[in-house]
Amino acid sequence: MLDSKILRSDLDSVVAKLQIKNFDLDVAAFRQLEEQRKTLQISTQNLQGERNSRSKAIGEAKAKGDDIQPLLDTVASLGDQLKTAEAELNGLQTRLDELLLDIPNLPHDSVPAGNSEADNIEVLRWGEPAEFDFEPRDHIDLGQALGGMDFERAAKLSGARFVTMTGPLVTLHRALIQFMINQHILQHGYTETYAPYLVNEATLMGTGQLPKFKEDLFHIDSENHNLYLIPTAEVPVTNFVADSIVEAGQLPLKYVAHTPCFRSEAGSYGKDTRGMIRQHQFEKVELVQIVRPDASMAALEELTGHAETILQLLGLAYRKVILCGGDLGFASTKTYDLEVWLPGQNAYREISSCSCMTDFQARRMKARWRNPETGKAELVHTLNGSGLAVGRTLIAIMENYQQADGGIKIPDVLQPYMHGMTEIRA
RNA sequence: GGAGAGGUGGCUGAGUGGUCGAAAGCGCUCCCCUGCUAAGGGAGUAUACGUUAAUAGCGUAUCGAGGGUUCGAAUCCCUCUCUCUCCGCCA
């Protein structure tokens, strides 16, 4: 959520910045609501003030033993007036809040304008796309030939966009998780965390998935439960600090979590329907940082670097892009995507997305820290990034490390987690 | 699932209808005293919004959330939610 102060004081520049994200703020509607709110608030507060002072007088008169009936008569009509005014003000406030909750975060000055991923700016390429002296296959063919990956069986169990796996591919999948988490906790200073996979509405409000993106989520709506499956560990883990004040000395908080992620993928029908690129359920190792506001942009560079390290250690060629305004997420002020080279698609595909949310989520969550300089509780900044998406990393390993005979070589750094296996063969 | 207790400011914790935004303690900030790795004294210390040149004053709201009763509610009633204790069931 944006600071409503800057909306009131500097609406024009807010509108201009939102344009970069292709978001058109209904300025007229906002101004009108705001204007109405102001006048109504003043008149309501006047009424409340009158009620308060008269009630006080009644209390004092009663204490002295005076007759209070005349005083009671004078307040008789106040109640109804107040009730009406308060109800109207509430309604207006609710509409303003709804408007505010739907406004995305402002993009950072370094974010380029643009409408789609075609307008993203490439920052660097690392590694050489693998060369093959045979026609490389995609992970679907490879998985089928190896015999451990079955989409039809998953469809029987659950429908489209699920997979079942058996045997060494699953071991590799698990090895990736272990490898990533160990790297982050031992080398990058993150604290390993465990969090719920089902969360309530307030939690999703906090990180910005609700109220605007409800259709992207799986929802448990039964008699006794109103919960959502997490679309990313960002949601529960960032909310660790919701409604709390963190001591300055504890910052930055750096959390790593491995969780499944659940996404309805509404609106992406027909997109990446084949294979494991886009599933309703996938595993991800997520990095979350809670930092001082003055440290957040540097933290974004650091966090992105941590995700890159994983790709580098796995020897996977990738490129790093800055998302343009139109591609930038709702809550993010700046996002780096890491795109891994997939020989089977002959393309770079997103494998990590690292974002700085400034105080946008913190304001929604009421996540604060005590600033020693001011002595006040102020909003923290939050960041998150995939380090990495496990399913897509599995694909990348399969396609990049494939052999002419359809086998998959195991990267050196993963072998300690593969009980000696150096290659997966049919 | 059954029975009970409870959610108050950064923290602990008083407060059962009227000068309660809220005692006290802790913590923190400033000042004084003392001059030595102690201690003592004093003052201040929630947030949001409105008004305003103002982080000054004043006003309004906020004691888990929402609704109700009342001239007036942290205090009474209802619903929801969370926590704790005991019993039952259970990976």
| pLDDT one-digit tens code per residue, A42-65 | 999 999 999 998 888 888 888 777
Q: How long is the CA A61 to C1' B80 vector, in angstroms?
A: 39
pLDDT tier, A346 (very low <50, low <70, confident <90, very high otherwise): very high
A356 has a pLDDT exceeding 90: yes
Quote helix, strand, coil % in chain A, to nearest 5. Answer: 45, 20, 35
Q: Are A169 and A148 in contact (CB under 8 A)?
A: yes
Which of chain B's bases lie under 7 Å from a protein CB?
1, 10, 18-19, 28-29, 46-47, 49-51, 59-61, 67, 71-72
A320 has a pLDDT exceeding 90: yes
Query: Which residues are CB-contacts of A121 (< 8 A; sequence separation ≥ 6)?
Result: A112, A321, A322, A324
Q: How long is the CA A125 to C1' B64 vector, in angstroms?
A: 51
Mean residue pLDDT across chain A: 92
pLDDT score recorded for residue A306 = 98
Say yes or no: Cβ of A94 under 7 A from any atom of strand B.
no
pLDDT tier, A77 (very low <50, low <70, confident <90, very high otherwise): confident
Q: In the 37-76 stretch of chain A, whose C-beta falls under 7 Å of nucleic acid strand B? A: 38, 41-42, 44-46, 48-49, 51-56, 58-60, 62, 72, 75-76
Q: Are A408 and A419 in contact (CB under 8 A)?
A: no
A316 has a pLDDT exceeding 90: yes
Specify the higher pLDDT residue, A221 or A139.
A139
pLDDT score recorded for residue A231 = 96
Question: How many CA atoms does the CB half-sphere of A49 hold within 13 Å?
Answer: 6
In 3D space, the residue among A294, A296, A368 whose CA is nearest the CA of residue A332 turns out to be A296
**How does DSSP assign A398-417, residue by residue?**
HHHSB-TTS-EEPPGGGGGG
Question: CA separation (Å) from A94 to A44, A87, A100?
Answer: 16, 11, 10
Q: Are A40 and A20 in contact (CB under 8 A)?
A: no
pLDDT score recorded for residue A96 = 87
Share of chain A above pLDDT 90, in %: 69
Q: How long is the CA A65 to C1' B24 vector, in angstroms?
A: 32
Per-residue pLDDT tens for A197-235?
999 988 999 999 998 999 999 998 887 788 899 999 999
DSSP annotation of A293:
G
pLDDT tier, A70 (very low <50, low <70, confident <90, very high otherwise): confident
Query: Which residues are CB-contacts of A379 (< 8 A; sequence separation ≥ 6)?
Result: A293, A359, A362, A363, A367, A368, A369
Which nt sits closest to A244, CA to C1'? B10
Q: Are A412 and A312 in contact (CB under 8 A)?
A: no
pTM: 0.93
Average pLDDT over residues A349-367: 95
Helices A168-182/A296-313 angle, 10° precision: 140
State whether residue A69 is helix, strand or coil.
helix
Share of chain A above pLDDT 70, in %: 100
How far apart CA A284 and CA A177 sit, in angstroms, is: 8
Looking at the annotation, which residues of A are catalytic? Answer: 263, 278, 350, 353, 392
Per-residue pLDDT tens for A250-288?
899 999 999 999 999 887 777 888 899 999 999 999 999
Query: Which residues are CB-contacts of A403 (< 8 A; sequence separation ≥ 6)?
Result: A409, A423
Q: In the 204-263 stretch of chain A, whose C-beta falls under 7 Å of nucleic acid strand B? A: 224, 245
Q: How long is the CA A370 to C1' B4 vector, in angstroms?
A: 39
Quick one: tokens of A329?
């997420």
How far apart CA A57 and CA A48 sit, in angstroms, is: 14
Per-residue pLDDT tens for A16-34?
999 999 999 988 888 888 8
pLDDT score recorded for residue A4 = 85
Average pLDDT over residues A179-189: 98
Q: How long is the CA A57 to C1' B68 vector, in angstroms?
A: 25
